[in-house]
Structure 1
Amino acid sequence: MANTKEVELLGFWVSPFVLRVEWALKLKGIAYDYIEEDIFNKSPLLQRLNPVHQKVPVLVHGGRAVSESFLILEYIDETWKHSPLLPRDPYDRAMARFWASVAEGKLLENAWIAMCSEGEEKERATELATEVLAHIEGLIKGKAFFGGEGIGYLDLAIGWVSHWLPVWDELGSMKILDPAKFPATAEWSGRFVEHPLIKENLPPRDKMVVYFRDRRRSWMMASKSHA
């Protein structure tokens, strides 16, 4: 196990990108110091460690910084090789990376747009997000986790679906994660958030609702002002 202070994580309490890194560290049993960032008033430390994007998460290991959550997950998996997150088979590894990227670029992005928009834009974004979720349904059907019997890379990559997406559905008056349409995904979602290490490391739902309601309002006001 790594000594505390050898590993540091700069994050933001409600960021699904940060949480997937925390989950990986917890699953691997890696001790780390957590540094909460104010993403609306970025610290000099964050700007120094991630000067290109100035975003969280940033993992600092032995004084060296790694940014971008998917890259951090792979760094963690390659550095601490016990309890591997990525599949051993090269094809399965490639597919895990592929679907993680698709879920990020198509499902997450469109779910956010759907929550923060109205009319045709909302309908189109909801449709696109649902299409991706249909593919994910096929991937998880008949499995406990995307990683097999245990949580793996793809579970961590799309774990936000289980805790964030229901909040976005509620605030956006939509139903992307519909258990009737996607029963296998819904079952996986419940199984994922009930895993002890995941359950103990989730942002409070009531606090999330307040935060994302404000973000939705700000996003929609900004969109209308630029229309």
Structure 2
Amino acid sequence: MAGSDVKLVGIRPCPYVNRAQIALNLKSVEHEFIELNPYTDRDMLVKLNPVHKKIPVLIHEEKPVCESLIVVQYIDEVWTNGTAILPYDPYDRAIALFWASYIEEKWSPLLGELRKAEGEEEKAALMEKIWQGMALLEEAFLKCSKGKAFFGGDSIGYVDIALGGFLGWIKATEILAGRKILDGEKTAGLVGWSERFLLDKAVKDVIMEPEKLAEIYQRYQASKAN
């Protein structure tokens, strides 16, 4: 792995990898992107992340940093140029960490469950949970943003990255499940936020088109069935 002092290991469709890409872009960190498929390049991944065996892995000065939200925090603390990703204020920082944890542990897994759901009853039950979560996130956005463009205020912050990394897959899940998740009536604040987030120069070349993601998912599911 000679070359760049900073390397990011992962695959482009992965929302967790996208988080790290966005953070690196926000800090204008030049880096080498190393394609690694966690399903086929298992041996290399085990060497880089022997505990979780997951992507992304950030390699800085030959030292690996694992887990996407930890990677984002590391990037923010090492490259102090530009706007901070995590708030300086201890309370605001705690709130950002809380909502990122909620997205990671409670809300985002529901998207995967919805994509796999069979039958209208199962989909309806999952959508109820997803909408309940979206209502909480809508309220969090209104409070954290304080009337500004992002959870982080005037610029993209930690919660923006935590949730925004999933935007491609949120829209792909809408296609695959035939259900609306980002609803202009129920979550108007988040709809506007998502549009601004995807247009930001740090993001727009990172998140893949939802139609392409849906196609990738269907192809992967078909390969598993064979």
Asked if Structure 1 and Structure 2 have the same fold, meaning a TM-score greater than 0.5 normalized by the shorter chain, the answer is yes
1:203 and 2:202 aligned? no
How far did 1:161 drift? 4.3
1:106 corresponds to which residue? Answer: 106
1:131 and 2:132 aligned? yes
Do 2:7 and 2:58's aligned partners in 1 also have CA atoms closer than 8 Å? yes
CA distance, structure 1, for counterparts of residue 112 and residue 211 of structure 2: 18
Do 1:161 and 1:189's aligned partners in 2 also have CA atoms closer than 8 Å? no
Query: Secondary structure of 1:156's match?
Result: helix
Please, what TM-score do these two structures have when normalized by structure 2?
Answer: 0.89
2:187 corresponds to which residue? Answer: 182
Task: Please tell me the residue identity of whatever aligns with 1:205.
Answer: P
Q: Which has the higher contact order (CA 8 A, sep 6+)?
A: 2
Query: Secondary structure of 2:59's match?
Result: strand
Cα displacement string for residues 112-134 of structure 1 (whole angstroms, at most 9, x for unaligned residues) = 21121024432222211111110
1:212 corresponds to which residue? Answer: 217
Please, what TM-score do these two structures have when normalized by structure 1?
Answer: 0.89
Query: Secondary structure of 1:65's match?
Result: strand
1:193 and 2:194 aligned? no
- Aligned pairs for 1:164-183 within 5 A: 164-183=169-188
How far did 1:18 drift? 0.2
How far did 1:43 drift? 4.7
Cα displacement string for residues 201-226 of structure 1 (whole angstroms, at most 9, x for unaligned residues) = 2224332121122345678x69xxxx
| Structure 1 residue ranges, 4+ long, deviating more than 4 angstroms after superposition | 215-219
Extract unaligned runs of 5+ from structure 1. 223-227
Of 163, 174, 184 in structure 1, the residue corresponding to residue 168 of structure 2 is 163
1:153 and 2:158 aligned? yes
CA distance, structure 1, for counterparts of residue 221 and residue 184 of structure 2: 24
CA distance, structure 2, for counterparts of residue 102 and residue 218 of structure 1: 32
Do 1:106 and 1:129's aligned partners in 2 also have CA atoms closer than 8 Å? no
CA distance, structure 2, for counterparts of residue 217 and residue 87 of structure 1: 43
Task: Please tell me the residue identity of whatever aligns with 1:210.
Answer: E
CA distance, structure 1, for counterparts of residue 221 and residue 189 of structure 2: 29
Task: Please tell me the residue identity of whatever aligns with 1:128.
Answer: K
Do 1:116 and 1:216's aligned partners in 2 also have CA atoms closer than 8 Å? no
Which stretch shows the higher mean deviation, 200-209 or 80-89? 200-209
Do 2:176 and 2:214's aligned partners in 1 also have CA atoms closer than 8 Å? yes
1:74 corresponds to which residue? Answer: 73
1:121 corresponds to which residue? Answer: 122
Query: Secondary structure of 2:202's match?
Result: helix
- The number of aligned residues is 218
CA distance, structure 2, for counterparts of residue 122 and residue 99 of structure 1: 25
Do 1:163 and 1:193's aligned partners in 2 also have CA atoms closer than 8 Å? no
2:23 corresponds to which residue? Answer: 24
How far did 1:195 drift? 0.8
Task: Please tell me the residue identity of whatever aligns with 2:136.
Answer: H
Query: Secondary structure of 1:97's match?
Result: helix
Which stretch shows the higher mean deviation, 75-84 or 38-47? 38-47
CA distance, structure 2, for counterparts of residue 204 and residue 107 of structure 1: 22
